[in-house]
Amino acid sequence: MKNTKFVIIIVVCVCVILGGYYYLTNRNNAKEEENITLTEIQELTTKNLDKNFPATPREVVKLYNRIITCFYNDEYTDDELYDLGDQARKLFDDELLENNPRDEYFKNLKEDISEYHDKNKTIASSAVDSSNDVEYKEVDGDDCAYVKASYFIKEGSAYSRTYQMYVLRKDADGNWKILVFYQVNGDSSDDKEIKILAIESSCDETAAAVVVNGRDVRSNVISSQIALHTLYGGVVPEIASRKHIEKINQVIEQALSDASVTLDDIDAIGVTYGPGLVGALLVGVAEAKAISYAKNIPLVGVHHIEGHISANYIENKELEPPFLCLVVSGGHTHLVKVLDYGKYEILGRTRDDAAGEAFDKVARAIGLGYPGGPKIEKVSHEGNPHAMEFPRAKIEDGPYDFSFSGLKSAVLNYINGCNMKGIEVVQADVAASFQKAVTDVLVGNAMKAIDEFKMDKFAIAGGVASNGTLREAMREACEKKGVKFYHPSPIFCTDNAAMIGVAAYYDFLAGKRDGLDLNAIPNLKLGER
């Protein structure tokens, strides 16, 4: 009896252990499955259309667009190609299937994809008309729906827009199936113009602009706070935010008025969401989200530095990636390889002070005040750039990186030394010598990158890019190497909304859309999304 009880206990324990093991194993497997992220192709090919067929004609076309975008843009195996194609065919009406037998369908599909690849073409983005624009008709006793879709096709660096009309017929099961599709013309206004309302409020300029097709600036309104912050020797974040709140609606209304458009004419809203002062950024982001929600306009968040780079496209219509770009401003110093619209490789950046920041600090030290850049440039024309040989920092483990804190300290030490010895500080000589040192470093790193990467186009951007001495030095250095040199006008070097509108346009073409959860990111890195 005792032995029997013991055996029962042992059996129960074993069952508990095995059951627990089974439970934990299955739970862990379930968690692992939950953590697996499917690719777009995997998600599309595993979709059970027999049980979950799209409910509306519009949803059918949207799903079909997702499939064809994978066909022309993504990499896949032959098996995945056939799986995708079979999913697409499940969206077809029986009549369309009969006219396109499976073998013939895949033969034509492969030829079309091959042609796209040969021409370096991709589908940059697609859009389907709203539900209100879907037209329903009864044709020969059948319920039919007409849905129009638009496509931005990228070929090399150029974009074009095409339109397709999809005719769908409801089958016996009540599902909308694609009966036929054909190319149509879009509205003439759509063919010609994509209007972006852009907003910029990252620092101390409240700005709005209307930009058409990425290169045509219809308006560019800037409300500057420089005079206000000059009283404090630099930007005061809280004051900047308050002034943005006061001015944001005014500059937007003015930008729309100057461009002779209303919000109903706008195709997308571009707004700077980083980097910058968090309070200042939030004003612009909140305003953009409010307009986007109220008017149902697509929202595109823009990186501030991408905006500065994109400013070069405004006046240089022929400029296209790839090229090298030096971004120099109060908060940033970046040497960037522009691979394509919206695609960047950072070659070098400042390890400490940005170039513009160094200008401001040195200007304050020699009694010129804020803002330092334009004041140092003006005074330096009267000085000797070789009066003092200030240091030029070179970084061994980062050949394209910059460092200006040592240069700034050298200037401060020189001034202190002169004061201690009772020697007069010649303001113009210090300004000219400092400016020469900064310029030499910027030009030197830029030319080194041109040589290594064999680039034939070079651009500068950012607030410091308006410095005439820097521009001339860059121009001369580029001419010696046979490199084309580009730079924006001073109005597009400072923080402005036009540059944000240009960057937003190319992001919009690429299909970038942001939701109402878009937030300010003060330390946003270039290339991050």
User: CA angle, 83 as apex, 80 and 88 as ends, to 5°?
Assistant: 125
43-191 and 313-493 agree in CATH topology: no
pLDDT at 37: 66
The CATH number that domain 193-311+497-509 falls under is 3.30.420.40
Half-sphere exposure of 166 (CA within 13 A, CB side): 27
Pairing of strands 333-340, 484-486: unpaired
Q: Which residues contact 186 (CB under 8 A, 6 or more apart)?
A: 150, 161, 163
How far is Cα of residue 199 from the mean position of the Cα atoms in its chain?
Answer: 14
Every domain of the chain and the residues it spans: 43-191, 193-311+497-509, 313-493
pLDDT at 160: 80
Report the alpha-carbon distance of residue 390 to residue 17 in Å, rounded.
76
Report the alpha-carbon distance of residue 71 to residue 116 in Å, rounded.
10
Q: What is the pTM of this model?
A: 0.68
Report the alpha-carbon distance of residue 203 to residue 239 in Å, rounded.
10
> 158-193 burial by CB neighbour count: b if 16+ within 10 A, else e?
ebebbbbbbbbbbeeeebbbbbebeeeeeeeeeeee
Judged on CB neighbours under 10 Å (0-12, 13-18, 19+), 484 is middle
Closest-CA residue to 151 (of 64, 211, 53, 49): 64
**What does DSSP assign to residue 406?**
H
- The count of other CB atoms within 10 Å of the CB of residue 284 is 27
- The count of other CB atoms within 10 Å of the CB of residue 349 is 18
pLDDT at 204: 85
User: CA angle, 307 as apex, 302 and 309 as ends, to 5°?
Assistant: 140
Looking at domain 43-191, its CATH superfamily turns out to be NTF2-like; domain 1 (3.10.450.100)
Report the alpha-carbon distance of residue 218 to residue 498 in Å, rounded.
9
pLDDT at 31: 45
Q: What is the mean pLDDT of each run of 10 residues along the chain (529 residues)?
A: 42 41 46 60 93 94 94 93 96 96 95 92 81 89 93 79 93 96 70 83 93 93 83 80 93 96 91 94 96 90 95 93 92 91 91 88 88 88 91 87 91 92 90 94 94 94 91 95 94 93 91 89 83
DSSP symbols for 43-105? HHHT--TTTS--SSHHHHHHHHHHHHHHHHHS---HHHHHHHHHHHHTTB-HHHHHHS-HHHH
pLDDT at 26: 52
- 363 in Cβ contact with 375 (< 8 Å): yes
Report the alpha-carbon distance of residue 366 to residue 359 in Å, rounded.
11
- 492 in Cβ contact with 314 (< 8 Å): yes
pLDDT at 373: 82
Report the alpha-carbon distance of residue 445 to residue 204 in Å, rounded.
29
DSSP symbols for 370-397? SSHHHHHHHHHTTS-TTSS-------TT
Largest CA distance in the chain: 112
Sheet holding 216-224, edge to edge: 216-224, 205-212, 195-200, 268-274, 299-303
Domain spanning 313-493, CATH class = alpha beta
SS3 22: helix
Tokens read off for 31 = 């968690």
